[in-house]
Amino acid sequence: MNEMTSPIHVTSEIGKLKTVMLHRPGREIENLTPDSMERLLFDDIPYLPIAQEEHDFFAQTLRDQDIEVLYFEKLAAEAIADDDVCKEFLQRMVAESGYVAGATHDALVEYLSSMDRQTMIDKIIEGVRSNEIDIARPDLQLVAENQDWPFLMDPMPNAYFTRDPQAAIGEGISINRMTFPARQRESLITEYIINHHPRFAGQVPVWRSRNHETHIEGGDELVLSDHVLAIGISERTTADAIEDIGRHLFKNSDYDTIVAISIPHNHAMMHLDTVFTMINHDQFTVHPAILDENGHVDNWIVRLGDNGKTTFEHHTDIKEVLKTVLNKSEIDLIPTGNGDPIVAPREQWNDGSNTLTIAPGEVVTYNRNYVSNELLREHGILVHEVRSSELSRGRGGPRCMSCPLVREDI
Ligand SMILES: NC(=[NH2+])NCCC[C@H](N)C(=O)O
């Protein structure tokens, strides 16, 4: 199958983007509080109406480039159109929210079942407050555990970072086991979209499902070419998960090489794509803080050896590794914030390295990172800037906020 017939087709980070999945931030954002935001992986509370304006501007910027924009929440509502599928989905969603059976479980299922499909999905993402439903005979869980917590079902404020719960690779997808409870239910929604939405059902190989103990997130999964991936070993992605997805890809797809890159395990750099992105055939952005004084970073080339086992080779010179695996004579690594000791960390914090490439040498970035943007232009890149005051408070930029589903081959 090729990009014309397959619902998913992503053989690079840079091929002309044709179809992308976004989520428009909704009332889940207004369910953040100072007490919950850290656990919900936010550093501040965005002002929703402006965040939505900014997000609409982002979506329109993509549409203006002839990119088809699909919305996660809409696909989800369509995926559960069938009554039995919807029932099963609700059962699993409420269970993963902490209620396997009992009065609270029953009340939540009944409450959500009374809504039309779109309202139901929006509500699940928004979260359900304790005072929204009357539970006549509370169960032990409600009485003993939920006293001080205002939610029966937690909001999913990170849903607008559609990059992470899944990643399109070739004609297939990885449906990700997320690291933190704050995000784990997002990929349950993905699972229903892939298994039940008519656009995808039965047509998309799943390279790795969310039924795993070790985790991997889309922000760490970079598709460098039609046979090479780069995957971050990070706060969110374990080496075990990388080898696991490698075993499946090496056997069942054209992918034969993974460059596993070790990055610091911290909140500012939670995924590889916050410090390293591909923007052209031979150009990358890189945050200088992941490199040592020689410009090196620990990385391993993972391949398939004899007898179905993976092999790995340790390297440090990432430039040389990229030249080898991509078969290029030169690689241009463009430092975030021009490598300045103040500008680089400041702009990285607001996703100055998190570029979404929409065609070779053409990217979408946040307008606030003006030093990095200027530098990209000096390196010959065409930059579309989008508004970023409120969206950036969730620690994600244009790459995090988008899940490419179809790109042209390069
Ligand atoms: N691909 C990315 N870098 N995504 C950023 C996600 C940010 C989100 N608040 C989280 O911590 O999960």
Residue 156 has a pLDDT of 98
How far is the centre of ligand 1, averaged over its atoms, from the C-alpha of 403 (Å)? 13
d(CA 104, CA 218): 33
Known catalytic residue: 403?
no
pLDDT tens digits, residue range 252-271?
999 999 999 999 999 899 99
CA distances (Å), origin 308, targets 248, 311, 372: 10, 10, 43
Burial bucket for residue 173 (CB in 10 Å: 0-12, 13-18, 19+): buried
Instruction: Say which residue the tokens 């849903």 belong to.
Output: 159
Which atom number of ligand 1 is nearest to the Cα of residue 394? 9
pLDDT at 217 over 90: yes
How far is the centre of ligand 1, averaged over its atoms, from the C-alpha of 161 (Å)? 6
**Residue 348: both structure tokens together:** 């990285």
Q: Name the phi and psi angles at 358, rounded to 5.
A: -110, -10
**Residue 78: both structure tokens together:** 């369509």
Residue 4 has a pLDDT of 58
Q: Are 31 and 126 in contact (CB under 8 A)?
A: yes
Among candidate residues 400, 403, 405, 406, the one labeled active-site is 400
Which residue among 271, 276, 399 has the greatest number of ligand 1 atoms within 8 angstroms of its CB, and so is best to mutate? 271
Which atom number of ligand 1 is nearest to the Cα of residue 180? 12
Which atom number of ligand 1 is nearest to the Cα of residue 400? 1
Instruction: Say which residue the tokens 């803080």 belong to.
Output: 289
Task: Calculate ∠ Cα 363-365-366, nearest 5°.
Answer: 170
Task: Calculate ∠ Cα 116-126-386, nearest 5°.
Answer: 110
Is 395 near ligand 1, meaning CB less than 6 Å away? yes
- What average pLDDT score do residues 53-72 get? 98
Which residue among 158, 231, 356 has the greatest number of ligand 1 atoms within 8 angstroms of its CB, and so is best to mutate? 158
**Residue 113: both structure tokens together:** 């079942």
- List of residues 6+ apart from 12 with CB closer than 8 A: 223, 224, 225, 226, 278, 407, 409, 410
Which atom number of ligand 1 is nearest to the Cα of residue 183? 12
pLDDT tens digits, residue range 4-52?
589 999 999 999 999 999 999 999 999 999 999 999 999 999 999 999 9
pLDDT tens digits, residue range 370-380?
999 999 999 99
The residue nearest atom 6 of ligand 1, judged by CA position, is 396
Count CA within 13 A, CB hemisphere, residue 268: 13
Is 400 near ligand 1, meaning CB less than 6 Å away? yes
Instruction: Say which residue the tokens 């008519």 belong to.
Output: 198
Residue 144 has a pLDDT of 82
Residue 162 has a pLDDT of 98
**Does this complex have an ipTM over 0.95?**
yes
pLDDT at 308 over 90: no
Q: Are 373 and 382 in contact (CB under 8 A)?
A: no
d(CA 355, CA 300): 24
Residue 5 has a pLDDT of 80
Every domain of the chain and the residues it spans: 17-71+157-407, 98-153
Q: How many residues does the chain have?
A: 410
Show the 3-state SS of the chain. CCCCCCCCEECCCCCCEEEEEECCCCHHHHHCCCCCCCCCCCCCCCCHHHHHHHHHHHHHHHHCCCCEEEEHHHHHHHHCCCHHHHHHHHHHHHHHCCCCCCHHHHHHHHHHHCCCHHHHHHHHHHCEEHHHCCCCCCCHHHHHCCCCCCEEECCCHHHHCCCCCEEEEECEEEECCCCCHHHHCHHHHHHHHHHHCCCCCCCCCEEECCCCCCCCCHHHEEECCCCEEEEEECCCCCHHHHHHHHHHHHHHCCCCEEEEEECCCCCCCCCHHHCEEEEECCEEEECHHHCCCCCCCCEEEEEECHHHCEEEEEECCHHHHHHHHHCCCCCEEEEHHHHCCCHHHHHHHCCCCCCEEEECCEEEEECCCHHHHHHHHHCCCEEEEECCCCHHHHCCCCCCCCEEEEECCC
- Report the percent of the chain where pLDDT is more than 70: 99
- What average pLDDT score do residues 64-84 get? 98
17-71+157-407 maps to CATH 3.55.10.10 = no
CA distances (Å), origin 7, targets 82, 158, 221, 401, 404: 21, 25, 19, 20, 11
Is 90 near ligand 1, meaning CB less than 6 Å away? no
Burial bucket for residue 353 (CB in 10 Å: 0-12, 13-18, 19+): buried
Q: What is the average pLDDT score of the chain?
A: 96
How far is the centre of ligand 1, averaged over its atoms, from the C-alpha of 205 (Å)? 25
Q: Are 280 and 361 in contact (CB under 8 A)?
A: yes
